[in-house]
Amino acid sequence: MKYDFHSHSTFSDGTLTPTQLLQRAADQGVDVLALTDHDNIDGLAEARVVANDNGVLLINGVEISVHWGKHLLHIVGLGIDPDNTDLIECLTQAQSARSDRAQRMAKDLERHGIEGAYEGAREYCLQGNMSRTHFARFLLDKGYAKDMKQVFKRYLVNGKPGYVSCEWATLENAVARIKAAGGVAVVAHPARYKLTMSKMKSMLADFVDCGGEGIEVIGSGHNDNDIRITSALATEYGLLSSVGSDFHDPQNGRRELGRVAPLPEQCTPIWRHDALERIHSR
């Protein structure tokens, strides 16, 4: 079985529509795919139709941006009920925070001599919410940097033009909403936050305290060492282990749907969770 529990569509900062994404998943031989757009679940209905037609099992997912102290983390929710009003309320708040942030980002870029960023970024955002990635694509296209990596070095990050803070949900609140919607909360790509080991452990202790149950052991940007460390943390904190490509864009050859390393032996896979029970009967 080929699993992938983390992917994006045009309903956030992915470049494929849910239809194209599910077709690609089928082409790549993915058996189980979670669509996890940033703070948005509006692509799930379209994805479900194509998943059914192509023999892919779609897991309803979302990736919620949260504050934990002064850190910004991403929490993936899997197996959620997209009609749950608690969850929808949380996502609606995030969407309005994102749209407000996009306006302020454009103003800040304008102060630094870059005109028309809002309209420019908007063109890359087909549906759903504006994110930093849309601004990055605009800046790249206008020649302000040679690649995406350089865009995020020069712009849109803390202390650089176009960076503004944003009011996200708290870790506690996001996990509570995911659980209220019948889902399982998973820490996305833990190695990407550059937390010290003691911070990481204190974050995971808080995460477990508020009901979090999973961690991406195989996550985007994780090297072999990250996988070793994360799988040990999963065992220590009694967390289920998830795998996700964090696919956004077919142009990015480093991330492909379903292309994830195998979980280390000692891990208990996330697909054992009751919330994902539809997988078990397959």
Residues that bind Mn ion (CB under 5 A): 13, 63, 74, 188, 246
Q: Characterize 111-124 residue by residue with b for buried, 16 or more Cβ atoms within 10 angstroms of its Cβ, and e for exposed.
A: eeebeebbebbbeb
For residue 23, the surrounding DSSP H or E stretch is helix 18-27
Cβ-based nearer residue to Mn ion, 74 or 222? 74
Rounded to whole angstroms, the Cα distance separating 191 from 173 reads: 22
Nearest approach, Cβ of 115 to Mn ion (angstroms)? 25
Rounded to whole angstroms, the Cα distance separating 187 from 173 reads: 14
Asked whether 81 and 60 are in contact (CB, 8 A), the reply is yes
Cβ-based nearer residue to Mn ion, 3 or 235? 3
Nearest approach, Cβ of 4 to Mn ion (angstroms)? 12
Using Cβ positions, the residue closest to Mn ion within the complex turns out to be 74
Nearest approach, Cβ of 156 to Mn ion (angstroms)? 13
Nearest approach, Cβ of 188 to Mn ion (angstroms)? 5
Rounded to whole angstroms, the Cα distance separating 250 from 198 reads: 36
Cβ-based nearer residue to Mn ion, 133 or 241? 133
Cβ-based nearer residue to Mn ion, 115 or 167? 167
Rounded to whole angstroms, the Cα distance separating 123 from 116 reads: 11
